[in-house]
Every structure is written in structure tokens, then in C-alpha cells.
Amino acid sequence: MSTERRLLILFIATAAGLTLGINLPLSGITHAASPTVWYVRPDGGSPEQCTGRVNAPYPGSGTIQPCAWDHPFRALPPGGTPRITGGDTLIIASGSYMMGYGASGAENCDYEGSYGCLMSPLPSGPDASHPTRILGAGWDSGCTNPPELWGTGRPRFIVNLTDSSNVEVACLEITDHSSCIEDHLFPTGGSQYTCQRDNPPYGDWAATGLYAEDSANVLLKDLNIHGLANTGVLVGRLTDWTVDNVRIAGNGLAGWNGDLVGDGTNSENHGTLIFRHWVVEWNGCGETYPDKQYVGCWGQEAGGYGDGAGFGGTTGGHYIIEDSAFLHNTSDGLDMLYTRLPDAVIEIRRTIAEGNDGNQIKTTGAVTIENSIIVSNCGFFHDMPYWNNDDDCRAGGDALVFALNPGGQAKVINSTVTGEGGCLAIAECALNQTCNGSEKVLMRNVLFQGQKIFFNPEEDTCFAWYDDESSPPNPANPFVVDYSLITGVRFGNVTPCPGPHNLCDVLSGLMNMGIDAFDAHLLPGSPAINAGTTSGAPLNDFDGQLRDSQPDIGAYEYGSTSTFGDVPATHWAWSWINRLYASGITTGCSTNPLMYCPENSVTRAQMAIFLERGMNGPAYAPPPGTGTVFTDVPLSYWAVNWIEKLFADGITTGCGTSPLVYCPEQSITRAQMAIFLLRARHGATYTPPAVGGSTGFNDVSTGYWAAAWIKQLAVEGITTGCGSGNYCPEDSVTRAQMAVFLVRTFNLP
């Protein structure tokens, strides 16, 4: 390209108000006339060396060889013309790809402006049936080892869907390699986690994982977007998106932010937006690299934000959210308060919102919530390092908040709600609207378990309150409550007791009513059993089990068919074992009949399988073993493949050296399990924080060899001990206990 041509392009860009942190490429691209499959792999080559159309390494010499490219930037060069075209597929092999200044294919990026070194937008597919696709290798076989795209040099985002429609993005890990949080605690001078953003080099961090605007007909599937310095996903002006099996975790400011501009304008969505198997957790906290520990959690009083998922601005759309989780975010779990346009419809099913600092779920528009569990333990972050306790139970920490349009209708059906905030449910008139008294919030077959208010432990949380004081107020009580169980609460200005078919001030009969270890399953004899109505009741419960002809109150149906013959619904770990089975991590201890053996001890061989499946998914099969790693695990041993893979992953070093042995038939102790679980969750190099002055358990001294690991296991909510303030570190782990450990460690649904 001539100097004159380059200057002309820069002039046009400047006139359009663009700031380019790149130098434009020097050659144009000729595209294939029909859709093409392109390949990227770490041992590939440059576009001069390889065609990019064959999944093979660069042979080491020659040009235009039949081999893959070496980096995604080769296909989507920063500031340049994509080498792929609409309808093409780009398959990225497993491996780690640095995204930003200094990466292969980013030679034209500018050092000073490395924040503008961005993947070029993915070209739109010609139509919804012929999408452009970016796929990690294994996208069609369980996605057990996705490629990692990690940001460096402070790029504004990593994956670019600006004006991208008719596209699919699947089987990727999107992150950075820094522990920093952008602008962390900036009102008070920052912290050890504050990112360097004033002058280059900025470090190995990126602000946002995925960015999209003016984007339609998009599928995001099997993505893990975590550890970004600011936001996991920043998107707006979307139409007809599907998000399936996407995790958004440990992003420093927010998880999913639907406010592009930051002032609530120009971000409205339309069409149908579907979210399934969506896990949004620990946003508003940093994630350390490489050990993936959540740190520096901050809320709005400290200058942060912290919503798990928020759809900012005035927006519309039909939202379907199913089988999802919003956990331990530093403000609201799911904030849909701004879905105010006439086409706004929200459906939430089989979803849990728990441990978020603000409201667990808040909505505007036509809303249906079914088979969901809402646990507002809004004091979860209290006294954590860097946490400002003024942020505890933000916005009252109410479990459910409904903003109603004139004549608006909301429904909560067969759900279980508890909380330590002000109220379990709030209704108000939507912003700038005048309600007319016909608004309704139907609550049917719902179990409400009150708690003591976090800020006032002498007082019960209120059941429900509607805003009859603001201007304009709700002119009439919108709550209609029937066939529900309400206990442990005080009544605000809504008093459903006594009421039609409601059960009031009775023991709820839950597995665990405590706010920090809440378990919504019903015990035998619970008054909620068979106390619901079939009118409007869903066919299945939270676990997907069929409800019987006389449905129960709450999210779970009591006595749903037991998976294992030796684990009745009355067993204390029934729900945990069933969840482990449903996730495909276990098939039990025998198949005919199907049994689990819940009281049997877990052996080290069994543990290898549990952990590898937890880390890699239920369909994972390890590579063949050699029988040469451990002298007591020969090639003929039934679990040799799993044991050697656990060793290769750095999760175990065996039980003895000289010779190296594994002790496969030895039972695992609870102390040993703490180490295995945390390494499996955070990586082989993980080291827990110093134990400090106390472990929190009576029987684990600070000098105990696994004290720091045991304390951290409790900090992360994986264990509450064995009872009476003890941990029982030398006791063997039973298969029932293992189910609880695994479900909590890997956040199994």
C-alpha cells in the first residue's frame, strides 16, 4: 500500500471519530467464493507460509504450504481485512493463544496504543442457516480441552462481534494472565490488585472477554469467560441470541453487562434471547492467575459495580433463562429491571440465585419464574479482604424485586425463596409509569422460608412489601398468594395469612433451613408435601423429576423417583448424589440393581475418576496408560488410565516415593481430599492463602499439615465440617460426602 493510500485511510478514520491503535496491513485479501474451513494451531505458520486450509503443522520451510495458521489473528487481523469471509468456519486447535500486542499476526499493532490491538470483527454469515463460525477443536465431541484466548496489553476486548450477525462462537476459554482488576478501589488510591493502565507496558490483562453490538442470530456455546480485569461480556443492541453452556466468572467489574454506553441508552435488545445452562458467578471479584482464586471483591460503595448479569438501558426482547445459576456476585445476581419496552417478556425456569450481595433477581415486564430457588444470603461478602461492609445487602438485599408496568403481570410458581435481606419479595411501579391498580404478582405453590435480617438479627425478614409511598405509588396490593407455605417472616403491607389454601407459621420441613447451608429439598412429613395445586404447576421440578398428581409446594417434589436403590429420598445426601449422577460424574457402584454405596469409603483409584470427570466433563476418556508411572499401578490395573492422567495433570504425586507408588486401594481422608479438590478446581500450581490465626475448626490446629487447605475449602463453601465445629481431618471420605464435595467444587447443576 502506498504512503498516500495509508494517509487517506487514516484521514477517513480520524474524520469518523475513530482512534486506531494499529497500523493498517500492507496487503489485501482475496476470498474464496464459497464457504471454507480454516484451521489454526500453535505449530502452524504465517499466511505466507501456510494456506490455513489444512489441519497440519507448518513443515518448517517453504511458502503457501498445505498447513494451518499459527494464530487466530491470521484469520482476523487487528485493524485489517479478515482473511475469512461470511459463512466460513475457523477451527482453533487446543493450546494457548496470546491476544494483543506482541502476538503472531499483530505486528501492525502499536505499542503505545496496545489497548486498540483487537481482533477484527467476525464477518457476518450470509443468513441464519449459513453462519460464520469460530470453533475450538473438540466443539463437536464434548469440548474437553478448549483453546485458550488470553488478552495482553490491555485490549478493550478479545472476541469481537461488532456488527456480526449469523455467527457461532463455541468451545473457547476466554481470559487473561493477570490477577489485576481495572480501576480497583480507585476512589481510595487503588490496591495491590489495581491494573496498570496509565503507561505501557500494561501487563497481561484485558478489559473484556467478548464484545458485541448490532448483532443478530448468534449462538454462543461451551464458553468459559473468566478472570477479565473489567467485564466478561459487554453487549447491546442484540436480536435473537442463544447462549448455551456458558460460564462467566471472576471478572473484576461485572459478568454480563448489557449497557454499551454506560448511561443506560442506545443498548436495547429485541427478538428472542435464550440462555440455558448459564453460570454467572463471582463477578465483581478478581481472579488470580494462575491459581484462579477469587480476591479483591468490591461493590458499588467502593467504586465497583458487581452485577452478575445486567441488561442496561431501556430494552425489550423475549428472554428465556433456564437451568442457570447466579452465584456470589457483588451486586445483583440477575438485573432485568430495565426490560421496560412493550415487547419485554421474561421466563425463568429451574434457576438458582444465591449469595449475591444485592437483589437475587429483579425484573420489569411480563415475568414468569418457575421451579427456581432464590437464596438471598446477602451478607455473604461481609468482612472479606477489601470488602466495604457498607455494601452488605445492597438495595436491601431483597430476594425478588418486581417493577410493574401499568396492568403488568408477574408469576412465581413452584419455587422456594429465602433471604436475610429486608423482604423476600418487593413490588413497585416501573420507572416513569403510573400504575392503575390492576397489576398482579401471582405467587402459587411457593415456599417462603424467612430468616433473621442480616442488619438486625433480632427481627425476621418481611414476607412482601409493595411501594404505596413513592410518586407514583402502587395504588393497590398487587400480590396474589395461594397454595403457598409462609413461615419465619414478619408481614409488611402484604398479609396473606390466613389466606386461601396457604400454610402459615409452620415448620417448613426443609432439608436445611439455615441461610448459609440452605437445602430446599423436603423432608418426610413436610407440610408442603401434596399441599400445592395442579393449576399452573409445571410438570417437572427443579431437578427435572416428574411431579405427581398432587404437586408439592416449592421447587422440589418430595419422593421423586430415587435413582439408586440404596439412596432413598430420606437420605441426607439424596439430592447431592442425584445431582452427581445427573451430571454424569458417577454411574454408581453397581448397575443391576443400580446402587451407589453411599457409606462406603472412597478409594484413591475412585477419586482419580471422580476428579478427572469433574475437571473435563462426563464424556471425558483419558489417554491410554503405560503402567510405568507407579509401581503399584500396572498396565492391567482397571483405573490405570485415570490415575496416570491425574498424575500428568499435577493433581497427585502419589502416596510414596522410592519407588513411586499411588496406593490405589487406600481410602482418602478428609484432609487429603481438601488438597485434591482445591488443586482440581484451581490448577496444579495452586497454593492456598496462609492459614492465619485460626482454621475455623476445633480439631484442626493452625500447625496441622493441611490446615491452610482445609480452611480454604471452607472459605470457598465446599465444606462446613463434620459437625459440632469440627472437620474430622483423619476420617475417611464416604461416597455420600464425596457427592457433596464434587457438586460444590465443580458447581454441578
Q: What is the pTM of this model?
A: 0.79
Buried b (16+ CB within 10 A) or exposed e, 68-94: bbbbbbbbbbbbbebbbbbbbbbbbbb
- Give tens-digit pLDDT for 329-340: 999 999 999 998
pLDDT at 353 over 70: yes
As a whole number of angstroms, the distance between CA 88 and CA 134 comes to 9
- Say whether 517 sits in a helix, a strand or coil: helix
Q: Does 432 map to a domain?
A: no
By three-state DSSP, how is residue 535 classified? coil
Confidence category of residue 271, pLDDT binned at 50, 70, 90: very high
Q: What pLDDT band is residue 286 in, cutting at 50, 70 and 90?
A: very high
How far apart are alpha carbons 191 and 66 in whole angstroms? 50
**Type of residue numbered 611:** L
What pLDDT is stored for residue 275 in this prediction?
98
Say if residue 85's pLDDT is above 80.
yes
Nine-digit cell string for 69: 495458521
pLDDT at 463: 97
Q: Nearest-CA neighbor of 346 among 358, 354, 338?
A: 338
pLDDT above 90: residue 25: no
- Find, among 229, 29, 23, 224, the residue nearest to 143 by Cα: 224
The closest alpha carbon to 207, from 225, 188, 189, 185, belongs to: 225
The pLDDT value recorded for residue 435 is: 92
Q: How far apart, in whole angstroms, are the C-alpha atoms of residue 744 and residue 732?
A: 19
Does 167 have pLDDT greater than 90? Answer: yes
For residue 86, pLDDT over 90 is answered with: yes
Q: How many domains does the chain contain in total?
A: 1
For residue 13, how far is the Cα from the chain centroid? 38
Distance (Å, whole) CA 477 – CA 466: 6
Q: With respect to residue 91, please indicate whether it lies within any of the assigned structural domains.
A: no
The predicted model gives 492-500 an average pLDDT of 85
pLDDT at 11 over 50: no
Average pLDDT score over the chain: 92
Flag whether 702 is in a domain: yes
Range of the domain at 612: 581-745
Residue 357 falls within a domain, yes or no? no
Residue 16 has pLDDT above 70, yes or no: no
DSSP per-residue string spanning 470-513 = SSS--SS--EEEES-EEES-B-SS---SS-TT-EESS---EEE-
Contacts for 625 with CB less than 8 Å, ≥ 6 apart? 633, 635, 640, 641, 643, 644, 645
Q: What is the pLDDT of residue 229?
A: 98
Map residue 729 onto helix, strand or coil.
Answer: coil
Q: Give domain status of residue 221, yes or no.
A: no
The DSSP-derived string for 235-292 is: EEEEEEEEEEEEEEE--SSEEEE--SSSSS-S---EEEEEEEEEEEESTTSEE-TTT-
Residue 578 has a pLDDT of 84
Give residue 8's pLDDT: 34
Evaluate whether 426 touches 401 at the Cβ level (below 8 Å).
yes
Residue 23 reports pLDDT greater than 70: no
Show the cell assigned to 606. 475412585
> Using one digit for the tens of pLDDT, what is the confidence trace for 192-240?
999 999 999 999 999 999 999 999 999 999 999 999 999 999 999 999 9
CA angle 346, 357, 746 (to 5 degrees): 80
- Candidates 351, 344, 350; CA nearest to 281 is 351
What are the angstrom distances between the C-alpha of 199 and each of 114, 152, 154, 202? 10, 14, 10, 6
How many angstroms separate the CA atoms of 351 and 668, rounded? Answer: 33
| CA–CA distance, 657 with 679 (Å, rounded to integer) | 20
Cα(716)–Cα(736) distance, rounded to whole angstroms? 20
- For 249-260, letters b (16+ CB in 10 Å) and e give bbbbbbbbbbbb
Predicted local confidence at residue 561, as pLDDT: 57
> Nearest CA to 230 among 195, 259, 263?
195
- Cα angle: 622, vertex 623, 625; to 5 degrees: 105
Domain membership flag for residue 562: no
- What's the whole-number mean pLDDT along residues 145-159? 97
CB 274 within 8 A of CB 243: yes
Judge whether residue 241 has pLDDT over 70: yes
**How many separate helices (H) and strands (E) can be counted in the chain?**
8, 39
What is the C-alpha separation between 363 and 336, in angstroms, rounded?
A: 4
What is d(CA 526, CA 547) in angstroms, rounded to the nearest whole number? 16
- Asked if pLDDT for residue 320 goes beyond 50, the answer is yes
What is the percent of the chain with per-residue pLDDT over 70, rounded to a whole number? 95
595-615: average pLDDT: 94
Angle at 443 between CA 437 and CA 448, to 5 degrees: 125
- How far is 379 from 391, CA to CA, in rounded Å? 9
Give tens-digit pLDDT for 662-707: 999 999 999 999 999 999 999 999 999 999 999 999 999 999 999 9
Per-residue pLDDT reduced to its tens digit, 475-485: 899 999 999 99
Q: Would you state the pLDDT for residue 562? A: 67
In three-state form (DSSP H/G/I as H, E/B as E, the rest C), the secondary structure along 643-692 is HHHHHHCCCCCCCECCCCECCCCCECEHHHHHHHHHHHHHCCCCCCCCCC
User: Is position 695 within any domain?
Assistant: yes
Q: What is the spatial distance between Cα 182 and Cα 231, in angstroms, rounded to a whole number?
A: 9
Across 401-410, average pLDDT:
95
Q: Is 112 exposed, middle or buried (0-12, 13-18, 19+ CB in 10 A)?
A: exposed
Residue 370 domain-assigned (yes or no):
no
